[in-house]
Amino acid sequence: MTNEIDASELSFEDFKTIVINDYRIAVESRQASLLGRKEVLTGKAKFGIFGDGKEVPQLAMAKVFKNGDWRAGYYRDQTFAFATGISTLKEFFAQLYANPDVNADPASAGRQMNSHFATRSLNDDGTWKNLTEVKNSSADISTTGGQMARLVGLAYASKLFKQNKELDYLKNFSVNGNEVAFGTIGNGSTSEGVFFEAFNAAGVLQVPMAISVWDDGYGISVPAKYQTTKEDISEILKGFQREEGTNGYEIFKVRGWDYPTLCETYLKAIELCRNEHVPVLIHVTEVTQPQGHSTSGSHERYKSKERLEWEREHDCIVKMREWMIESAIATKEELDELEETAKKHVKEVQKEAWNEFLDTIKQEQADVVRMINNLANGDASLSKIAAQLASTHDALRKEVVSAARKAIRLSVNAPSAEREVLINWYQGKTEFFTELYNSKLFTEGLESPFKVNQVAAQYSEDGKMLDGREILNACFDANFARDARLLAFGEDLGAIGDVNQGFAGLQAKYGELRVSDAGIREATIVGQGIGLAMRGLRPIAEIQYLDYLLYAINVLSDDLATLSYRTKAGQKAPLIIRSRGHRLEGIWHSGSPMGMILGSLRGMHICVPRNMTQAAGMYNTLFRSDEPALVIECLNGYRLKEKLPDNVGEFTVPLGKVETIKEGTDITVVSYGSTLRLVEEAAEELTAFGISIEVIDVQTLLPFDLEHACAKSLQKTNKLLIVDEDVPGGASAFILKNILEDQKGYYLLDGKPQTLAAKAHRPPYGSDGDYFSKPSVDDIVEVAYAMMNEGNPERYPKLY
């Protein structure tokens, strides 16, 4: 690990020791890059991306990174990770080999490509560790610039901890908001929209966010002239420079090979950022990339001879070495020896990591070879499988398991005790393999939403009938009073209490730190929520209309939804996204893109309440648990009257449990959200025809009907109609798959299952546009009627 340099207290000898130690870290890191690339090129790892050329600035950054601080960075940061202790050389190689043992690769348990860093914020039971005592790295994602949205929230948390005294009791998350959130990003990735959005947001919020740009002049093969106006990111961001009487940034520019100036710059920049909560940009220029972008190609293809020569001369390690010799910090011979030792050391660590990766697989390989040989009993094809596996040097688990499965298939017509042994082995291992490769899409810890006490809504006889929005308002009020960690923000959410008044009056009551307006910036509204949630707070990030979720879907899908999986429950972000959707008016205010959501947000709970009381019950569950969720309220439901439960802040609606709104015997109609009211209306009309509809509200699409109530209903009706207002084959196809396949509803049907969705286009503006585009009561009645006609045309003659 690196050490701080405090010139006022250091002797020259101490100073030398620190610098030499830094140099050793840099050299070891470079060796890891060189060796890592070889490991890929010789086939031991699948892909490699390394931090060579960026070592020296990262040492400087590591010096000012303190316990409690946070990083949101990208795949070039290995030197920083080694210098802070966020990662070790051994862990680095374990991740390169995709070792699925979380002890070997604590960042991702082999789930992420190499150089994707993360520290473990959680205990095994999903509860928080003390994050003020450690150096924290939020889990990297591979998408360029994807770290920026989250960075805003990590920094904003410090501001809240500093300014909101009610949070003082949260000792494990902050010490008076003194923590800095460090972001790193490549020069090319600053071209991404989310970079500019995050940059502006932090300037507005004035939060302790320190962005370092590692500027090597390229984004893979594309040079700066195609990336950045004026080819200079700090130059074009000059308008953000704070001035007398304005907010803004402090902007620094420093060359990536100049160790002493880098150390000074970081010291100055971070002191300001930490103490005064001024965001800073440190533009680190003249950085190189000695091995090119990644193992996927060579940079000779796109860099000129002159550029390659310049890079060799300006290699930051070469430059640091020159400076150390010139400054009498070390002699050439001493550094030669240090480099030799470092090389050996890294090689040894790499070997250990490789052997550890293979250890458990080797055992499995030997077991499977033995079992297949026992089973073969003269069968040539089975013996061949065993021999092939036995001779596979450094077999992967895939090869071992595939051999076992093939042998089981080939011997299907020759049952034997030996075959049973092999089958038992394979089936016995399934749980272990699932745990290794498929587990922890959610935290599933002590605070899982499935462990929240279920509390029924209570109503007094004289209970008030209120507008839906007032029910929500009462729910939020009760929860904000109960839990100081809760806060909400979004466009128009603060002063006016959101466009539909769910938060009306709550800013006045709880203050601007807890109920606040945000700029029009959906990606970083979500990112703000993710960062806050990773630091122990309980944010509700509002997306004004569901249609605008598309502006944030990348952040939700790449970052929030994958967080638990990609860290194997090492980190969590219990963020609630609140939005409103389904039918209202026009192409961008009637969206119900549920299929898109279901496809992209596995790892979040998706709640689709039919009214505001159900929504309140879901919020009550979610606020008391720690997994991320999206709640979609019905846009057209805020002014409908609902009865206020006496325990509006307490009663819970469980996730994954449907509600049967109306019992019936002829057709099971499954729906959710705004179409549900129409289904109820249609059911009334169908009664006149003697058709009895059972109406099921699924309530949450993820998870979906855990008790298989839909199939149970089909036992009675044998007919299934699914109604929603997504595109044809959107969420309705998802529901169909769940009921027919997972719940085995297929066997219970006496006619073809039916879906009724909206048209493929978005609805035109106006009531007529809605009528001709989204399912109407007429449509539902007629489709249900047609289903009855199909089975009994005499009793239900064709309508048309």
Ligand X SMILES: Cc1ncc(C[n+]2csc(CCOP(=O)(O)OP(=O)(O)O)c2C)c(N)n1
State the residues that interact with ligand X by CB under 6 A: 76, 142-144, 186-189, 214, 216, 218-220, 293
CB of 555 to ligand X, least distance (A): 11
Nearer to Mg ion, 75 or 259 (CB): 75
Residue 427 DSSP symbol: H
Show the site string, 205-224: x = touches Mg ion by CB under 5 A, - = not.
Answer: -----------x-x------
**Residue 500 contacts which entry, ligand X, Mg ion, none (Cβ below 5-8 A, type-dependent):** none
CB of 154 to ligand X, least distance (A): 20
**Residue 531 contacts which entry, Mg ion, ligand X, none (Cβ below 5-8 A, type-dependent):** none
CB of 196 to ligand X, least distance (A): 14
CB atoms within 10 A of CB 143: 16
CB of 79 to ligand X, least distance (A): 13
Nearer to ligand X, 218 or 623 (CB): 218
**Residue 2 contacts which entry, ligand X, Mg ion, none (Cβ below 5-8 A, type-dependent):** none
C-beta of residue 158 within 8 angstroms of C-beta of residue 179: yes
**Residue 143 contacts which entry, Mg ion, ligand X, none (Cβ below 5-8 A, type-dependent):** ligand X
Nearer to Mg ion, 314 or 657 (CB): 314
CB of 61 to ligand X, least distance (A): 15
**Residue 117 contacts which entry, ligand X, Mg ion, none (Cβ below 5-8 A, type-dependent):** none
**Residue 76 contacts which entry, ligand X, Mg ion, none (Cβ below 5-8 A, type-dependent):** ligand X
Nearer to Mg ion, 294 or 699 (CB): 294
CA–CA distances in Å: residue 473 to residues 292, 466, 478, 716:
55, 11, 9, 40
- Residue type present at position 16: K
C-beta of residue 197 within 8 angstroms of C-beta of residue 521: yes
Separation of alpha carbons 152 and 559, rounded Å: 13
Does residue number 51 form part of the binding site for Mg ion (CB under 5 A)? no
DSSP letters of 214-236?
E--SEETTEEHHHHSGGG-HHHH
Does residue number 188 form part of the binding site for Mg ion (CB under 5 A)? yes
Does residue number 145 form part of the binding site for Mg ion (CB under 5 A)? no
Nearer to ligand X, 156 or 218 (CB): 218
CB of 297 to ligand X, least distance (A): 12
CB of 566 to Mg ion, least distance (A): 23
**Residue 293 contacts which entry, ligand X, Mg ion, none (Cβ below 5-8 A, type-dependent):** ligand X
Tokens 């803004």 belong to residue: 248
Binding span for Mg ion by CB under 5 A among 179-187, 247-255, 330-338, 390-398: 179-187
Of all residues in the shown chain, the one whose CB is closest to ligand X is 186
C-beta of residue 182 within 8 angstroms of C-beta of residue 65: yes
Residue 740 DSSP symbol: I
- Token pair listed for 561: 């939804």
Radius of gyration, alpha carbons of the chain: 30
CB of 116 to ligand X, least distance (A): 11
CB of 216 to Mg ion, least distance (A): 4
**Residue 789 contacts which entry, ligand X, Mg ion, none (Cβ below 5-8 A, type-dependent):** none
Look at residues 617, 689, 670, 686 and name the one whose alpha carbon lies nearest to residue 648: 617
To the nearest 10 degrees (0 to 180), the angle between helices 777-791 and 675-688 is: 50
Does residue number 187 form part of the binding site for Mg ion (CB under 5 A)? yes
- Token pair listed for 151: 């960075």
Q: Dihedral, CA atoms, 42, 46, 47, 50, nearest 10 degrees? A: -60
How buried is residue 797: exposed, middle or buried, by Cβ count under 10 Å (0-12/13-18/19+)?
Answer: exposed
Separation of alpha carbons 746 and 759, rounded Å: 26
Nearer to Mg ion, 51 or 595 (CB): 51
Buried b (16+ CB within 10 A) or exposed e, 27-54: bbbbbbbebbbebbeeebbeebbbbbbb
CB of 219 to ligand X, least distance (A): 3
**Residue 567 contacts which entry, ligand X, Mg ion, none (Cβ below 5-8 A, type-dependent):** none
Separation of alpha carbons 793 and 241, rounded Å: 76
Nearer to ligand X, 330 or 530 (CB): 530
Separation of alpha carbons 524 and 156, rounded Å: 11
**Residue 570 contacts which entry, ligand X, Mg ion, none (Cβ below 5-8 A, type-dependent):** none
3-state secondary structure of 633: strand
Nearer to Mg ion, 294 or 567 (CB): 294
Q: How are beta strands 629-634 and 641-643 bridged, if at all?
A: unpaired
CB of 273 to ligand X, least distance (A): 22
CB atoms within 10 A of CB 638: 21
CB of 222 to Mg ion, least distance (A): 9
Nearer to Mg ion, 130 or 296 (CB): 296
3-state secondary structure of 446: coil
CB of 289 to ligand X, least distance (A): 6
- Token pair listed for 21: 């130690």
Nearer to ligand X, 77 or 105 (CB): 77
**Residue 144 contacts which entry, Mg ion, ligand X, none (Cβ below 5-8 A, type-dependent):** ligand X
Nearer to ligand X, 105 or 216 (CB): 216
Q: Dihedral, CA atoms, 328, 331, 332, 337, nearest 10 degrees? A: -140
Separation of alpha carbons 626 and 575, rounded Å: 8
- Sign of the Cα torsion 358, 364, 367, 370 reads negative
C-beta of residue 663 within 8 angstroms of C-beta of residue 651: no
Does residue number 186 form part of the binding site for Mg ion (CB under 5 A)? yes
**Residue 494 contacts which entry, ligand X, Mg ion, none (Cβ below 5-8 A, type-dependent):** none
Nearer to Mg ion, 30 or 299 (CB): 299
To the nearest 10 degrees (0 to 180), the angle between helices 259-276 and 55-63 is: 40
Q: How many residues line the site for Mg ion (CB under 5 A)?
A: 5
Separation of alpha carbons 704 and 742, rounded Å: 10
Of all residues in the shown chain, the one whose CB is closest to Mg ion is 186
- Token pair listed for 278: 């001024």
Nearer to Mg ion, 283 or 582 (CB): 283
Nearer to ligand X, 76 or 419 (CB): 76
Nearer to Mg ion, 296 or 424 (CB): 296
Separation of alpha carbons 459 and 643, rounded Å: 8
3-state secondary structure of 530: helix
CB of 283 to Mg ion, least distance (A): 12
CB of 559 to ligand X, least distance (A): 12
C-beta of residue 528 within 8 angstroms of C-beta of residue 156: yes
**Residue 137 contacts which entry, Mg ion, ligand X, none (Cβ below 5-8 A, type-dependent):** none
Residues 705-764 that bind Mg ion (CB under 5 A): none
**Residue 142 contacts which entry, Mg ion, ligand X, none (Cβ below 5-8 A, type-dependent):** ligand X
Binding residues for Mg ion, per CB under 5 A? Answer: 186-188, 216, 218
